């Protein structure tokens, strides 16, 4: 039995992430999806809470022939012990999946096997691009799996992003 570990911020979980997981599913029996920066939300870069991201991802994984665990992982201010922190929060795993250079480096220094995956349509399947489209009321739905679109609509996520952007510009977050 092989268990993999795939970490991301998933702000939001998009079709590129899902393509990666579909490929991983062919290589492992079980997969842990780590929601990184779980402590972050309500900012332009990290609009969605860990709980909201758990809903998005859990619903997208439901149709895959794969045992999955979705685990929130908060950031810690010390890269050198981050892998131990991940291991403390996650079921044990045999192989990690990431294209993030820092993540790869930290796992490899801890002697954990890391597999990289191809990037899919990176010019548009990229968190910053998707959040920019949401902020500017441009088309974003086509870039996300349907359960993610439904979750964002249910929580009124676009209004949140636009409000946070507005607050960042006007400084209204600091009431007098
Ligand atoms: P991400 O959501 O940007 O990406 C997740 C993975 O998907 C990455 O491997 C990325 O390369 C891949 N991906 C993105 N778009 C893709 C596409 N179109 N096609 C195929 N693959 C695609 O998340 P991330 O930034 O890699 O997440 C790493 C997390 O680990 C962050 O939350 C970070 O804070 C956390 N971290 C924390 C520490 C610490 O706390 N000290 C240290 C290292 C990492």
Ligand 1: centre distance to CA 9 (Å):
5
**CA 35 remoteness from chain centre:** 5
Burial track 2-26 (b if 16+ CB lie within 10 A, e otherwise): ebbbbbbbbbbbbbbbbbbbeebbe
Of residues 146, 147, 132, 167, the one with CA closest to residue 42 = 167
Confidence class for position 169, pLDDT limits 50, 70, 90: low
The pairing of strands 3-8 and 67-72 is unpaired
39-43, 103-107, 170-174: which has the minimum mean pLDDT? 170-174
Ligand 1: centre distance to CA 100 (Å):
6
pLDDT at 150: 98
Longest alpha-carbon distance in the chain:
58
| Residue 132 lies inside a defined structural domain of this protein | yes
| Residue 123 lies inside a defined structural domain of this protein | yes
| Residue 175 lies inside a defined structural domain of this protein | no
Question: Cβ distance 33 to 68 under 8 Å?
Answer: yes
CA–CA separation, 49 vs 40, rounded Å? 7
Choosing from 5, 7, 14, 142 the residue with most ligand 1 atoms within 8 A of its CB, the one to mutate for a pocket test is 7
**At residue 152, does pLDDT exceed 60?**
yes
Pocket, ligand 1, Cβ cutoff 6 A? 7-10, 16-17, 20, 36-37, 75-76, 79, 82, 98-100, 102-103, 106, 117, 119-122, 125-127
CATH number of the domain bearing residue 27: 3.40.50.620
Q: Which atom of ligand 1 is nearest to the CA of 15?
A: 18
**At residue 168, does pLDDT exceed 80?**
no
**Which structural domain, as residue segments, surrounds residue 97?**
3-167
Q: At 164, is the secondary structure helix, strand, or coil?
A: helix
| Residue 173 lies inside a defined structural domain of this protein | no
- Report the domain count for the chain: 1
| Residue 172 lies inside a defined structural domain of this protein | no
Choose between 173 and 159: higher pLDDT: 159
């Amino acid at each position: 039995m092989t268990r993999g570990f795939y970490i991301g911020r998933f702000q939001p979980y998009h079709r590129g992430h899902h393509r990666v997981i579909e490929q991983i599913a062919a290589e492992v029996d079980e997969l842990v999806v780590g929601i990184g920066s779980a402590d972050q939300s309500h900012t332009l870069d990290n609009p969605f809470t860990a709980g909201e991201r758990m809903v998005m991802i859990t619903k997208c994984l439901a149709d895959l022939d794969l045992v999955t665990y979705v685990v929130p992982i908060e950031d810690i201010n010390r890269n050198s012990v981050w892998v131990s922190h991940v291991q403390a929060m996650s079921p044990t795993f045999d192989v990690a999946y990431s294209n993030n250079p820092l993540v790869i480096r930290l796992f490899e220094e801890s002697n954990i096997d890391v597999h990289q995956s191809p990037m899919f349509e990176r010019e548009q399947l990229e968190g910053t691009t998707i959040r920019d489209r949401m902020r500017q009321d441009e088309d974003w739905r086509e870039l996300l799996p349907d359960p993610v679109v439904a979750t964002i609509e249910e929580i009124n996520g676009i209004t949140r992003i636009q409000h946070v952007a507005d607050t960042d510009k006007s400084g209204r977050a600091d009431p007098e």
